[in-house]
């Protein structure tokens, strides 16, 4: 992996703030980027997929278990909504388009 210094986009702070990303001050910096080898990209993708699988397993264990939902402090009034969302088969984007969840990972 190689870190490269770059010139930030003009007005990038305003651009990200307009998107609602208002906590960027010390987090979102555009003065550098990283060049990765294909091997490094594949390693990151594999780790990301493993994390997503662990997340899905954890959600599945908690979704219908009131004791675990209590530990997570999930309010009773939203649990049915959360359970229904867990049964969805498509992901809906803000523009109204959808994507089958089997392709999202």
| pLDDT > 70 fraction of the chain, expressed in percent and rounded | 88
Q: State the burial class of residue 28 (Cβ atoms within 10 Å of its Cβ: 0-12, 13-18, 19+).
A: middle
Asked whether 65 and 55 are in contact (CB, 8 A), the reply is no
**Could you read off the pLDDT of 11-34 as tens digits, one per residue?**
888 888 898 888 877 777 889 999
| pLDDT > 90 fraction of the chain, expressed in percent and rounded | 38
pLDDT on residue 104: 47
**34 Cβ contact partners less than 8 Å away, ≥ 6 residues apart:** 1, 2, 3, 4
The answer to whether residue 101 scores a pLDDT higher than 90 is no
Find the mean pLDDT for residues 36-47: 96
Find the mean pLDDT for residues 49-57: 89
The answer to whether residue 105 scores a pLDDT higher than 50 is no
């Amino acid at each position: 992996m190689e870190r490269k210094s770059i010139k930030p986009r003009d007005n990038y702070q305003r651009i990200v703030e307009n998107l609602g990303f208002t906590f960027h001050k010390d987090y979102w910096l555009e003065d550098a980027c990283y060049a990765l080898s294909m091997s490094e990209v594949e390693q990151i993708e594999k780790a990301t997929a493993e994390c997503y699988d662990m997340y899905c397993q954890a959600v599945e264990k908690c979704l219908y278990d009131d004791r675990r939902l209590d530990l997570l402090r999930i309010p009773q009034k939203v649990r049915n909504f959360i359970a229904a969302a867990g049964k969805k088969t498509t992901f809906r984007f803000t523009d109204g388009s959808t994507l089958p969840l089997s392709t999202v990972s």
